[in-house]
Amino acid sequence: GAGVSQTPSNKVTEKGKYVELRCDPISGHTALYWYRQSLGQGPEFLIYFQGTGAADDSGLPNDRFFAVRPEGSVSTLKIQRTERGDSAVYLCASSLWGTGANVLTFGAGSRLTVL
C-alpha cells in the first residue's frame, strides 16, 4: 500500500483479555518495527523484524507480549492477559532494507485502552 496501515485504530478491552494488533507495512519494505508510546513520551522500542525473523526483540516488556511476521509482510503484535499498564498507543513502522540511513515510515498507531 501507499503507507503503513494499522488496525484497529482504537481498541478497548478488559483486564485479562487477549489482544491482537495488526500492521500492514509499505509494500517491499523488509524491516518492520513495533513501538509503544505512552502519553507525553517518545516511542519505546519493542521489537524489530528483518523479513520473517525477529532481529531484535529486546524491547518486549515480558512474555505476555509476542509478535509475528510469518510471510515477511503483515505483522501481528499479540498481548496476552492484558493489564492496565499496557494501555498506550502501539506504533508500527517499516523501512526499506539497505538504505543506510534506515528511514522509518510510521502508521497512525493503534490506541489500546485496558479497563
Partner 1 sequence: TQLLEQSPQFLSIQEGENLTVYCNSSSVFSSLQWYRQEPGEGPVLLVTVVTGGEVKKLKRLTFQFGDARKDSSLHITAAQPGDTGLYLCAGLRRNNNDMRFGAGTRLTVKP
- CB-based contact 54:104 (threshold 8 Å): no
Question: Which of 5, 13, 22, 44 touches partner 1 (CB under 8 A)?
Answer: 44
- For residue 42, state whether it binds partner 1 (rule: CB under 8 A): yes
Instruction: Please report how close the Cβ of residue 64 comes to partner 1 at its closest, in angstroms.
Output: 21
Assess whether the previous peptide bond of 8 is cis (omega < 30° from 0). Answer: yes
Place of cell 498507543: 89
Alpha carbon distance 59, 35 (integer Å): 9
Strand 88-95 relative to strand 110-114: parallel, antiparallel, unpaired?
antiparallel
Q: Which region among 16-24, 49-57, 63-71, 73-81 touches partner 1 (by CB under 8 A)?
A: 49-57
- For residue 32, state whether it binds partner 1 (rule: CB under 8 A): no
Which residues of the shown chain bind partner 1 in the complex (CB under 8 A)? Answer: 4, 31, 33, 35, 40-45, 48, 50, 55-56, 91, 93, 100-109
